[in-house]
Amino acid sequence: MGTAREKEHSIMRRNSLLIVSILGLAVVLVYLGAATGILRGADNLTLALVFAIGPVAIVGVISISRRLAPQGGSLVLRAGTTFLTIGFALFTLMLVVQQTIFIQFRQFRSEAAGQAVQDALALVFKGVNLVQLGADVAFDIFYCLGMILLAAVMYRHRDFGKVFGIFGIASAAALLAFNLYTFPYIPADSGLVDLGPVTGLWWLAVIVQFFRLERKARSAAKPVREP
């Protein structure tokens, strides 16, 4: 009875991890599409995909943390998981505020009676838009610190290793440094490169590795047929 229940629990766990991995891969691709300008527009489907990034990413971070826990269940891992959870919650807040501002001001401009009103709206927009830019920096702080800590755990983990650790730490540290150096402006507006998509590539590599590990675990769990 116990063995059958444990086997069923193991299958359910692997299936749930597979689903999380697929969703995580989709989220990273949506983020990279939005960050590079490939995915544009403010239709309902696009907004739904973009708004899903934060919640799905939080579930993904928790799943990755569980994978690392047997060998990295330390304060560093717990802090990294917490920082990333807060970071992706702030990311969702930033996106909702950003799109609310953009959509509403597009409507206001289309209804403006004359050039004087257009100029006034442009000035108001500059001030209001600072709200989402500030939320973006708050996200970057927690996101980068969490990613640095998670990558530090991966550095010594047998399933990930030094390449994941060094790449994650370096890209997140550079992203944080650029954002703090150019604050309150974004790096792209200050002549620097936006390294957000680079960290997205790190997450993509982590998810692919996650897939590979789960596939390996599934193969090992299959019963060997006797000749």
Does the pTM surpass 0.75? The reply is yes
**pLDDT greater at residue 71 or residue 109:** 109
Cα dihedral sign for 62, 64, 66, 69? negative
Residue 215 confidence (pLDDT) above 50: yes
Per-residue pLDDT tens over the stretch 110-162:
777 778 878 888 888 888 888 888 999 999 999 999 999 999 999 988 888 89
Residue 166 confidence (pLDDT) above 80: yes
At 10, the pLDDT band (50, 70, 90 cuts) reads very low
Q: What is the mean pLDDT of residues 41-70?
A: 80
Q: Characterize 119-142 residue by residue with b for buried, 16 or more Cβ atoms within 10 angstroms of its Cβ, and e for exposed.
A: eebeeebeeeeeebbebbbebbbb
Residue 174 confidence (pLDDT) above 50: yes
SS3 135: helix
- Of 48, 34, 27, nearest in space to 204 by CA: 27
Per-residue pLDDT tens over the stretch 59-107:
888 888 888 876 556 889 999 999 999 999 999 999 889 888 888 888 8
Q: Where are the domains of the chain?
A: 9-220
Residue 9 confidence (pLDDT) above 50: no
Residue 19 confidence (pLDDT) above 90: no
Q: Percent of the chain, pLDDT > 70?
A: 74
**pLDDT greater at residue 28 or residue 196:** 196
